């Protein structure tokens, strides 16, 4: 009985998550994270200071 009581919240959360994912438009978190990383890289490359010739050694 203890394992059922302990895992009740996990099971309830999983069931609710499945219901929400099937019935509502939920954004794809993986794609969203990749887009943010690409935007951050592009911004960094745009505003990065140019390398000095002395630093190339």
> Residue 56 has what pLDDT?
59
Q: For residue 24, what is the DSSP state?
A: S
Per residue of the chain (57 residues), give pLDDT as tens. 678 788 999 999 999 999 998 999 888 889 999 999 999 999 998 888 777 776 655
> Residue 6 has what pLDDT?
82
Contact 21, 15 (CB under 8 A): no
**Which residues contact residue 20 at a Cβ distance below 8 angstroms, ignoring those fewer than 6 apart?**
26
- Statement: the pTM of the whole predicted model exceeds 0.75: no
Length, in residues, of the chain: 57
């Amino acid at each position: 009985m203890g394992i059922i009581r302990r895992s009740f919240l996990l099971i309830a959360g999983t069931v609710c998550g499945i219901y929400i994912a099937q019935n509502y438009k939920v954004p794809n978190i993986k794609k969203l994270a990749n887009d943010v990383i690409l935007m951050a890289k592009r911004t960094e490359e745009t505003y990065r200071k140019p390398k000095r010739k002395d630093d190339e050694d």
